[in-house]
Amino acid sequence: MTNRQVFLDHLAQTTDFPLMIEIERAEGIYMYDPKGKAYIDLISGIGVSNVGHRHPKVVAACKEQLDQYMHLMVYGEYVQSPQTKLASALAQTLPKELQSVYLVNSGSEAVEGALKLAKRFTGRPHILSCKDAYHGSSHGALSSGGNEIFKQNYRPLLPGHFHIPFDDLSALDQINDQTAAIIVETVQGEAGVRLGSSDYFQQLRKRCDETGTLLILDEIQAGFGRTGKFWAFEHYGITPDILVTAKGMGGGMPIGAFISSKAIMDSLKENPILGHITTFGGHPVSAAASLATINIIQEENLVAEVERKANLFKSELNHPAIIEIRNKGLMMAVAFESFDILKPIIDRAIELGVVTDWFLFCDNAMRVAPPLIITDEEIKKACKIILQAINEVLTN
């Protein structure tokens, strides 16, 4: 049996049309198939490889930690230096209100932890979130997700979850004294890179303060330098009560976190004790990789280059078939008239060696979210291939 057959027969499938690219090795912005064909990864494995694939410093940090220890004990009991070093490095990137880090394994888990924390701290029953938001696929995260198609056949979901439109000031009065938290993506990702105005975020913060509601910002996709600030909320001059992160955090290893003040976080440790627990959360090898990732982003000054690189993409991707480019830094959506036009362009670009895709809730836009280490030459090369794919598809 070929690997492709085993993939189809024995690995659970999530669609009838998986990409089925087989990769043998990856490095930097490139992935290589068994025949040595190179693909430019223009989506960073969906927002993960911000520092590129197998960054040498991430690989070295993992190897070093593998030689010390792997799993020792469930989260929160032993003092493990990969975790303490990571938590203090994260704290240094964050305002004083966000200094207590709870390490988990993934984005959905970070969201679950954040939602539980908000309920526990406030004692309130309701969670608000935004239409077309994506927060993950587990029950709690799906309940706060804002797309009906992905939820309808998985009911009953969690009670007490309500949805309001994103970037709509008139909906903010639905935040009230029953609302434990509102969870918002600082930049909506799966909706196809949708931005809120500064005024919206300011008013959102204000309304949360007035009602004693916790503001949870989901930066699982937008954090770790992706938007041109280390954290996306820095663009809007506000601070959340709880921040959730994952994806780019691990430099290619699985890890996530929800982060708040110590006063809020401490509510998980009493009445009952062990209010939120995880076996593998903050795995030492992942934590070491994450610390290396923070160091790389800072030492290589990656954040400072994001806006310029995004502008280069925007000027290179100049074609009448492209109707709009929405972006916050290198989190970009390149919109076409329809999925029927976009899909063959994506397929052809993959054949030509550039991997992109579309968004869960926005199928007429191409996702462009390359590793932040991408060079100007590589941007030009990738854009040239995308334009070639567009021209070939439209003339056929």
Positions that interact with ligand PMP (CB under 6 A): 46, 106-108, 111, 134-136, 185, 189, 218, 220-221, 246
For residue 294, the minimal CB distance to ligand PMP (Å) is 18
- State the residue for tokens 């949805």: 163
How far apart CA 37 and CA 18 sit, in angstroms, is 19
Task: Tell me which DSSP letter residue 53 carries.
Answer: B
Assess contact for 80 and 287: CB atoms under 8 A.
yes
CB-nearer residue toward ligand PMP: 29 or 369: 369
Ramachandran category for residue 291: left, alpha or beta (phi over 0 → left; psi -120 to 50 → alpha): alpha
For residue 318, the minimal CB distance to ligand PMP (Å) is 28
Burial class (CB within 10 angstroms; exposed 0-12, middle 13-18, buried 19+) of 14: exposed
Paired with 367 in beta bridges are 333, 357
For residue 203, the minimal CB distance to ligand PMP (Å) is 21
Task: Tell me which DSSP letter residue 140 carries.
Answer: H
CB-nearer residue toward ligand PMP: 288 or 331: 331
Assess contact for 367 and 43: CB atoms under 8 A.
yes
CB-nearer residue toward ligand PMP: 41 or 185: 185
10 Å Cβ neighbour count for 202?
14
For residue 145, the minimal CB distance to ligand PMP (Å) is 9
How far apart CA 151 and CA 147 sit, in angstroms, is 7
Q: Which residue is nearest to ligand PMP (CB)?
A: 107
CB-nearer residue toward ligand PMP: 38 or 46: 46
For residue 226, the minimal CB distance to ligand PMP (Å) is 11
For residue 190, the minimal CB distance to ligand PMP (Å) is 6
CB-nearer residue toward ligand PMP: 103 or 246: 246
Q: Which of 104, 153, 114, 156 is nearest to 135 (CA)?
A: 114
CB-nearer residue toward ligand PMP: 106 or 179: 106
